[in-house]
Chain A
Amino acid sequence: MIIASDLCKEFEKSYKEGKKTKKEKFLAVNHVSLTAKEGEIVGILGPNGAGKTTLLRMLGSLMTPTEGRVTLMDTEGNEIADDTKKKEAIGYLSGNTKLYPRFSIREYLTFLGEVYEYPKQEIAERIERIIEVLDMSSFADSRIEKLSTGQTQRASIARCLMADPMLYILDEPTLGLDILSADAIIRFMKEQKEKGKTVLYSTHYLEEAQVLCDRIYMICGGRIVAQGTPAQLMEQTGTSNLREAFHAIYDESEREDNNETA
């Protein structure tokens, strides 16, 4: 289980005013609290620049929050405090987590197995199993730079699977994929949920989120503007699907922001 309490991330942005460069601080993530439990797929939705990636990076221990705290619990409910141990328990995947282009998938997975300090025999077994599950045997020994987008994304999933983490943080995992590859990823998330793992993921595909997510957090301007199950969100906004609900919530939050600035 992962609990984020009152997370903030402050960035500096610079802009030109005449000849002078001025700097201004702003909160990319503004007092966000959320929870994701075992056996749950939690969706993070929001427009571009809403702070989704920054939030997920803080949850994945890649960034330190300016304020607030991320607590990660193991299956027995004990807190994992050590940063390295935290990373062992999290499978983090985003558009920015590229794979070594000069390695083959098999070599890369072997490297990961060694980093996670598994015994040699186990590494080989795991790799075989993952290659089979993700149907990668035809390209497992080619260099990653030669793979197609879909194949590369499957290799990225393989990367996360290698560690067998208890929590998956997936930043737009189906972005730009064909239907077959996207379906493979969705199937993968469902399987992990069935195994009792936690999946936290962000997406722009609302139809996908509507069927997949147990709960959803909607983010706008770094703040959580709505949360609940897809059904609850639709009910709250009086809409019939998540896309319409999203629009309703987004418009409402824009109006509030405008009122505040006025």
Chain B
Amino acid sequence: MKRLRTLIRKEVMDVLRDKKTLIIMVVVPLLLYPTIMIGMTLIMSMVAQSQEEKIHTVAYEGSGADTEVVTALEALYTEHSEDLVCELTFEQMKKSDDAQADAWFAASAEEGKNIKVEISYTSTNQDSNYAESALTELLTYYKEDLLKEKLAGQGLDETFLTPVLVESVDSASESESVGMNIGGSIGMMLIVTVLMGAFYPAVDVTTGEKERGTLETLLTLPVSNFQMIMSKYIAVALFACVTAVLSLLALGGSVVFLMVGASTELAAELQGIDISKLLSLVPVLLLAMISVALLITAICMCFCVFAKSMKEANNYSTPVMLIVMFASMMGMIPSAQLDYRTALIPIANISLLIKQIASQQFSFPLAAITITVNSAYSVMIIWILAKMYDSEDILFHDGFKNFQIFKKRSEFMKGTVPGIGDLIMSVVVLLLLVLYVGTAVTVRAPFAGVVVQQLMILGVPLFVTWYMKSDCKTLFSLKKPGKGSVMAGICFYVGTFCLEMLLTGYLVKLFPASTENMNKSYEILMAQPTILIVLVMALMPAVGEEIFFRGLMYGGLREKCGVKWAILISAVIFGAFHVSLVKLIPTAMLGACFAYIVYKSGSIYIGMVLHFLNNAFLLLQMKEPDTFGKILPVLMKEEFALTDMLGFLLVGIVAMVIGIILLKKTGNK
């Protein structure tokens, strides 16, 4: 621990002595917000002021009804000139001279009909725009006066025209709606600033250290790889947090300055913000920013550690920036809200949370989930990185031998087995695809979302094996199974299924809310025709998920860390991929069962068929509960009786044991 502290201090000191970092970390956030907010509003107010003071010319030809209307408008102008956006003067001129005027006015009137007014202006010209606005305002007064006159002539009063008065009352205070409007973009700005604050130190402590030749020196010291990566991460995270805090301060300062000082539209809008309410939420905002700083640092570290040179690391800044910006733009989508689903999407959830905080629609549990999710992701990423970091590879070879996927395709030899890093990359890419692309499609069309997700699950392993020229037959265990193995597999699966039912029954009782949510999401999908449901939710997963989890994951891990770990890890990832608290353990159990069958039989096909049957069975149970209830009444019960449970336990264990024995007998050694 003491050693880690020393290392962190060294990293911090080393980065602090680099002036470039200090500028990016301190000066940029401190200048960015004042420049953007104050600068922009000052420019806007200057433009507005100069327009207010300038006299804009409205020209008219003086034929037809022009003169009459203009005389009336001039009279109105003296009365209302204070309320108009700019000063106006009316000039009679020839149509050919209209270039000298800011706007052109023409009016015609026919006996018994309304007066037709035409305003010609140039929308791309600021002066012309202002003249048009002021003129339209004046015409409104004119119209009202005429109307009053006419109504009075008929002996009517104004209520004649407005038999119904509509008034909408917004329950959100002014402060809340202002926050909603600007909260989304502020979230993105804050997150991007944190990225800028984290990226440069991350490059400096990783590839920078390698390039300066001090990494080898560091490795001669009694320091483990884990300590080294952790110290670097913590140092960079500190910088990112400082940037986050400074950004918040600069932002707060700019808002206060504008509220007190400037007098523009934005400032007027900002006046609506209830500062005291916002101040009470600052601690939450701070925690949120720190959690996103931790995550962004972890992401930056992953990219920088792989880079062979600082130049390469800097090249990575563009994709990292794009990923982070894409995720943080979520807050700018008006309909996007923080809920129990979006709170699980890293970075995007912070941007939504900031929007929520700004509009004071704050929910504590959602904020807690958001902050925890980001922190947990960052811990997970950095832990894996630190465990995988192989200093020898980084220092003396091309980089991570575990991450071969970054090589050119032509450099791969036939039959390459994906390394641990490649597998992690596949999981991460798939997770990102499912989270972002999958969610985007699901929101619009839930059923199409499932199809897209399944296609991605199948696509990723196929792409990886094609790119790395892996031997699919061996990696995916594409082999015809023996008859004995099929029977043994079925027996083992039936056992697992019984235990799974027992466990699910227990978990459903434990987490009723989560189950309800899950069932609701299924209800929408169940509206589709049965054949389509079976095709998309049973057949596609049976092929895609088996290829990904039992093919790529289990097959790759088996080569690198042995069968036991391969079964365990692939099963846990399989469980985790079903993003549900209730389904996690039962699904992992099923995953382990299929992986074990692949191990013993040497074939992925048994698992595929069983996976299909398993899904089809559960889907039909949901789709046709009545028919199902007649055949297997026990499965339709809301709650299992003790005898049912014992039955499941007994059948489960017996079938599993028989299955294992048979698999051992019939399987390949």
Contacts and interface: CB of A to CB of B under 8 A. Distances in A.
Interface of A: 14, 19-21, 23, 57, 60, 62-64, 83-85, 87-88, 90-92, 94, 96-103, 107, 111-112, 114-117, 159
Contact of B216 (A94, A112, A115): A94
B113 interface: no
B396 to A, nearest CB: 7
Contacts of A116: 222
Contacts of B13: 102-103, 107
Contacts of A87: 220-223
Among A20, A83, A85, A98, find the residue whose CB has the most chain B CB atoms closer than 10 A.
A98
Given A14-B411, A62-B216, A98-B213, 14 more contacts: A21-B410, A62-B220, A83-B224, A84-B222, A87-B220, A87-B223, A91-B220, A97-B214, A100-B212, A101-B212, A102-B13, A103-B13, A103-B17, A115-B222
B220 A88 contact: no
A100 B14 CA distance: 8
A96 B214 CA distance: 8
Contact of B223 (A19, A84, A101, A159): A84
Given A97-B213, A97-B216, A115 B410 contact: no
Interface stretch (B3-11, B133-141, B283-291, B292-300): B3-11
A7 B524 CA distance: 65
B659 to A, nearest CB: 42
Main DSSP-derived SS at the A contact region? mixed
B18 to A, nearest CB: 7
A98 B214 contact: yes
Contacts of B391: 62
B214 A115 contact: no
B219 interface: yes
A85 B222 CA distance: 7
B220 A97 contact: yes
Interface in B1-50: 2-3, 6-7, 9-10, 13-14, 17-18
A173 to B, nearest CB: 14
Among B219, B410, B411, find the residue whose CB has the most chain A CB atoms closer than 10 A.
B219
Contact of A64 (B7, B14, B224, B392): B392
Nearest to A21: B411
A100 B3 contact: no
A95 to B, nearest CB: 9
Contact of B14 (A83, A84, A102): A102
Interface of B: 2-3, 6-7, 9-10, 13-14, 17-18, 212-214, 216-217, 219-224, 391-392, 395-396, 408, 410-411, 413
A107 B408 CA distance: 43
Q: Considering the complex of A and B, which 4 residue pairs feature the smallest CB-CB distances, nearest first?
A: A98-B213, A102-B17, A97-B217, A114-B6
Contacts of A14: 411
A101 to B, nearest CB: 6
B79 to A, nearest CB: 72
Contacts of A103: 13-14, 17
B220 A90 contact: yes
Contact of A99 (B18, B217, B396, B410): B217
A139 to B, nearest CB: 17
30 contacts: A14-B411, A19-B410, A21-B408, A21-B411, A23-B413, A57-B396, A62-B220, A62-B392, A64-B392, A84-B222, A84-B223, A84-B224, A85-B222, A87-B221, A96-B213, A97-B220, A98-B212, A98-B213, A98-B214, A98-B216, A98-B217, A100-B14, A102-B13, A102-B17, A103-B13, A112-B221, A115-B3, A115-B221, A117-B2, A159-B217
A112 B396 CA distance: 24
Contacts of A111: 6, 9-10
Contacts of A20: 410
B650 to A, nearest CB: 51
A65 to B, nearest CB: 11
A225 B226 CA distance: 39
B267 to A, nearest CB: 44
B366 to A, nearest CB: 43
B230 to A, nearest CB: 14
Nearest to B401: A12
A57 B391 CA distance: 13
Given A21-B410, A98-B212, A103-B13, A115 B223 contact: yes
Nearest to A101: B212
Contacts of A84: 222-224
A107 B9 CA distance: 12
A23 B407 CA distance: 13
B216 to A, nearest CB: 5
Contacts of B411: 14, 21, 23
B301 to A, nearest CB: 20
B433 to A, nearest CB: 30
Contacts of B222: 84-85, 87-88, 115-116
Nearest to B408: A21
A90 B221 CA distance: 9
Given A21-B410, A57-B396, A102-B18, A92 B220 contact: yes
A63 B220 contact: no
Contacts of B10: 100, 111
Contacts of B396: 57, 63
A23 B392 CA distance: 20
A96 B14 contact: no
A212 B321 CA distance: 56
A141 to B, nearest CB: 14
A211 B10 CA distance: 40
B7 to A, nearest CB: 7
A111 B214 CA distance: 14
A85 B392 CA distance: 18
A113 B76 CA distance: 86
Nearest to A92: B220
Nearest to A112: B221
Contacts of A62: 216, 219-220, 391-392, 395
B80 to A, nearest CB: 67
A90 B219 CA distance: 12
A101 B211 CA distance: 12
A98 B395 CA distance: 13
B214 A99 contact: yes
Contacts of B408: 21
Nearest to B407: A21
B532 to A, nearest CB: 47
Contacts of A92: 220
